[in-house]
Amino acid sequence: MIKLTKEEKEKKIKELEEKLEKYSEKLAKKKLGYGDVVRTRFGDSYSDQLRDDTNALELVINSIKEELDALNKVVPNK
């Protein structure tokens, strides 16, 4: 496990919270059916691609939340 100073930890938490907000906003738009899909594959319908993109965003968001939880449990070095 990497040891972080208090300042490094606060900076990392702030960055993750910004990413979480950004991706949560994108996910909300996707769930409402807005926005472009990230990629297109031959033969896939728009709804299939939208579902895939939504699933990918949910994985990213869960990963960020897990990292935030881990950082909040770590005691920083002095």
Q: What is the pLDDT along the chain (78 residues), one digit of tens a residue?
A: 567 788 998 999 999 999 999 999 999 988 887 777 766 667 678 788 888 889 999 999 999 999 999 988 865 555
Say how far apart CA 1 and CA 74 lie, in whole Å: 10
The pLDDT score that the predictor gives to residue 6 is 86
Least Cα distance to 37 among 2, 20, 29, 14 occurs for 29
Q: Tokens for 58?
A: 């949910």
CA separation for the pair 31, 74 (Å, rounded): 34
Residues 16 and 64 sit within 8 Å (Cβ to Cβ): yes
pLDDT of residue 39: 64
Check residue 12 and give its pLDDT. Answer: 93
The separation between CA 56 and the C-alpha centre of its own chain, rounded to angstroms, equals 9
Per-residue model confidence (pLDDT) at position 64: 96
